[in-house]
Amino acid sequence: MQRGLPMQPTVLLLKEGTDTSQGKGQLLSNISACMAIADTLATTLGPRGMDKLIVNERGDAEITNDGATILKLLEIVHPAARTLVDIARAQDAEVGDGTTSVVLLASQLLKEVRGFVEEGISPHIIVKGFRKASQLAIDRIKEIQVTVEKSDPERFRSLLLKCAATSMSSKLIHSEKTFFSEMVVDAIQCLDQDELNEALIGVKKITGGGMHDSMLVKGVSFKKTFTYAGAEQQPKQFTNPKIVCLNVELELKAEKDNAEVRVEQVSDYQAIVDAEWEIIYRKLDAIEKTGAQVVLSKLPIGDLATQYFADRDIFCAGRVADGDLKRVVQAVGGSIQSTCSDIQPQHLGTCGQFEEKQIGNERYNFFTDCPKAKTCTLILRGGADQFIEEVERSLHDAIMVVKRAVRNGDVVAGGGAIELDLSRHIQQRALEVSGKQQFIMLAFAKALEVIPRQICDNAGLDSTDILNRLRNKHQRSGEKWFGVDVDGTTGVRNNMDAFVWEPSLVKLNAIASATEAACLILSVDETVRNPQSEQQNAGPRAPPGTAQRALRGRGRGMGRR
């Protein structure tokens, strides 16, 4: 050390114990984490995909092959890998289907460029190539997608049925996809075709019976609510009833905590009791004068009101779920009233038939033949609770797919056909590009083949042989709709002619989301872990009283601010 030169001070930038990982090693580690997730989901893809049994810390079991559901139940903590969880959820919320495909595609994109990263090629060059190839793929889908005209109702309904059946072909209910496809399309066509709000499709699950016992109610149905003894004396069936929906409590309630009323004589106490009874009777009389035969309320309807309505041949139900009550209003008309004093005729709804029926071990209230039926209810039957919940998830995916098909009406062939055509198209266009970009675009084209390859592997087919034959069809013969055939003997077929159709929006969203996720992960070259958050999440338990002291200290700090 030279004399006279001041010693450079050590600068402590991060908290002691902070873990920092950066550079090429960190990028490769993130890619490996994403590939591990893809390996978990890969076997669930396609019509012959397998299911996953996931058990949580409480011992509750879930059986599913829906990509977004699996990733949510796995509770992935790796910061980079959580990007794949986010794109799966986004795909599920936006389109409803293709959650497994988008995760596999993003992971395969990273796998294909892993060698380039190891060789020292800048991630920015890779990202630029990915974005260019992605735009080529999106433009190609828009160029070759098939539009079905909505002017022909029969043909358009056939399109929706095929899209729903294709969505269910990889689900647990694939053996009954014809039955459930009809149910899903009928449900979508019950809605207002301008809004298509899927929240107005109610789903009720009743254990017992078989899948074919499931039904679609064109109207509203919900489970019989908690009732008092007088409810059994009420009529359980009406034709063209007037229906009033309330947000009013019809119950004698005890006084609130710490309430105090001072009286000097018994007559004063009796006056208070009489006033309370007078208030509720005034409400009940006002409801009866409206002529309503069915009274529904979001709040409780007590034993006094129940018996009052039973004596006057009026049906009542209290504690109706908020969603069910809103769908009743959508179906029968009228509006939810927060007071009983000024209920006008226009505030009442009506339906063709009201009935309380037994389904399995449960009793359900049915509102059918509704004049303003912009809502419907799916009643699902099955053996085990896990099975019924998987049926619900499968139908949700199909409903979202049919909804998108109604909005757009543009379809492409499934079964890996569109991915192989995009791969061929990008390979041809990549040859027109010079420099490193060409290799990146070729890697993107190769990554697209993961979808047909995985469908073959899951179906027990020879993926190498099938893909070679499909490449020959696409490259030489120009058969852009040829894809994997898991049912036949040849292994390949024209999936457009075989009616394996998917809304083009599913593929557009999947390719865009997968590309964005891959680019995001490639742009991260450093991860910084806060030691305090690590200790809170997975570290040793703190000594007793530490948390209380920390909270008290935080409170004092907030007070000073």
CATH assignment at residue 313: 3.50.7.10
Whether residue 557 is contained in a domain is answered as no
Burial of 549 (0-12, 13-18, 19+ CB in 10 A): exposed
pLDDT score of 3: 56
Q: Are 486 and 461 in contact (CB under 8 A)?
A: yes
For residue 333, give both structure tokens: 């008309």
Are residue 209 and residue 305 in the same domain, yes or no?
Answer: no
Residue for token pair 């999106």: 138
Are residue 136 and residue 209 in the same domain, yes or no?
Answer: no
Are residue 133 and residue 199 in the same domain, yes or no?
Answer: no
Whether residue 559 is contained in a domain is answered as no
Are residue 386 and residue 442 in the same domain, yes or no?
Answer: no
Query: Would you give the distance in Å from CA 151 to the centre of its chain?
Result: 30
Q: Are 403 and 185 in contact (CB under 8 A)?
A: no
Task: Report the CATH number that the domain containing residue 104 is assigned in CATH.
Answer: 1.10.560.10
Q: Are 440 and 129 in contact (CB under 8 A)?
A: yes
Whether residue 323 is contained in a domain is answered as yes
Whether residue 362 is contained in a domain is answered as yes
Are residue 498 and residue 466 in the same domain, yes or no?
Answer: yes
For residue 341, give both structure tokens: 């004093």
Whether residue 161 is contained in a domain is answered as yes
pLDDT score of 544: 43
- Which tens digits make up the pLDDT trace of 108-118? 999 999 999 88
Helix (H, G, I), strand (E, B) or coil at 354: strand
Are residue 363 and residue 228 in the same domain, yes or no?
Answer: yes
Are residue 429 and residue 513 in the same domain, yes or no?
Answer: yes
Are residue 316 and residue 436 in the same domain, yes or no?
Answer: no
Are residue 198 and residue 293 in the same domain, yes or no?
Answer: no
The whole domain housing 186 covers 149-218+379-408
- Which tens digits make up the pLDDT trace of 334-374? 888 888 888 888 889 888 889 998 888 888 999 988 877 78
pLDDT at 1 over 50: no
Are residue 237 and residue 247 in the same domain, yes or no?
Answer: yes
pTM for the whole thing?
0.74
* Residue 541's pLDDT band (cuts 50, 70, 90): very low
For residue 51, give both structure tokens: 């299911």
Are residue 239 and residue 347 in the same domain, yes or no?
Answer: yes
Whether residue 312 is contained in a domain is answered as yes
Whether residue 528 is contained in a domain is answered as no
- How many domains in the chain? 3
pLDDT score of 548: 37
Instruction: Please compute the mean of the pLDDT values over residues 2-12 and round it to a whole number.
Output: 56
Whether residue 3 is contained in a domain is answered as no
Task: Report the CATH number that the domain containing residue 396 is assigned in CATH.
Answer: 3.30.260.10
Are residue 115 and residue 189 in the same domain, yes or no?
Answer: no
Instruction: Please compute the mean of the pLDDT values over residues 231-243 and round it to a whole number.
Output: 88
User: Percent of the chain having pLDDT more than 90?
Assistant: 17
